[in-house]
Amino acid sequence: MQLSYTKSGILGGDGVVFYNPLYDGGGTTIGYDMCKHPSILKHLSNINDTLEICSGPGFIGFYLLFNGLTKKLWLSDKFDGVLPDILKTNAFNQVDVKFIHSDCFQNFEKSLKFDLIISNPPHVQHDMEWIRDRKTEEEKHASYRINLDEDLKFHREFFENVKNHLHPGGKVILVENQTYISYATIMDLAGSGFECEVINGVYAEKNFYYIVLTLGTCVV
Ligand X SMILES: C[S@@+](CC[C@H](N)C(=O)[O-])C[C@H]1O[C@@H](n2cnc3c(N)ncnc32)[C@H](O)[C@@H]1O
Query: What's the maximum distance between 2 C-alpha atoms anywhere in the chain?
Result: 51
Nearer to ligand X, 41 or 219 (CB): 41
Count of CB atoms situated within 10 Å of the CB of 112: 14
Stretch that binds ligand X, among 37-45, 54-62, 162-170, 203-211 (CB under 6 A): 54-62
Residue list 71-100, contact with ligand X (CB under 6 A) = 77-79
Which residues are CB-neighbours of 219 under 8 A, at least 6 positions away? Answer: 163, 168, 193
Nearer to ligand X, 145 or 169 (CB): 145
Nearer to ligand X, 93 or 119 (CB): 119
Identify the residue among 15, 25, 44, 114 touching ligand X (CB under 6 A): 25
Least Å distance between CB 129 and ligand X?
A: 18
Could you write out the DSSP letters of every residue in 108-170?
A: S-TT--EEEEEE----B-S--HHHH--SSHHHHHHHHHHHB-GGGHHHHHHHHHGGGGEEEEE
Least Å distance between CB 13 and ligand X?
A: 16
Stretch that binds ligand X, among 7-15, 39-47, 53-61, 65-73 (CB under 6 A): 53-61
Least Å distance between CB 111 and ligand X?
A: 20
Binding status of residue 13 toward ligand X by CB under 6 A = no
Stretch that binds ligand X, among 49-57, 88-96, 126-134, 199-207 (CB under 6 A): 49-57
Q: Which amino acid is at 41?
A: L
Query: Residue 39: in which H helix or E strand, if any?
Result: helix 38-41
Query: Residue 68: in which H helix or E strand, if any?
Result: none
Nearer to ligand X, 31 or 170 (CB): 31
Identify the residue among 35, 44, 51, 54 touching ligand X (CB under 6 A): 54
Identify the residue among 62, 154, 203, 210 touching ligand X (CB under 6 A): 154
Q: How far is residue 209's CA from residue 203's CA, in Å, rounded to a whole number?
A: 8
Q: How far is residue 17's CA from residue 65's CA, in Å, rounded to a whole number?
A: 11
Identify the residue among 12, 15, 122, 170 touching ligand X (CB under 6 A): 122
Please tell me whether residue 107 adopts helix, strand or coil conformation: coil
Which residues are CB-neighbours of 42 under 8 A, at least 6 positions away? Answer: none
Residues near ligand X, by CB under 6 A: 24-27, 31, 54-56, 59, 77-79, 103-104, 120-122, 145-146, 154
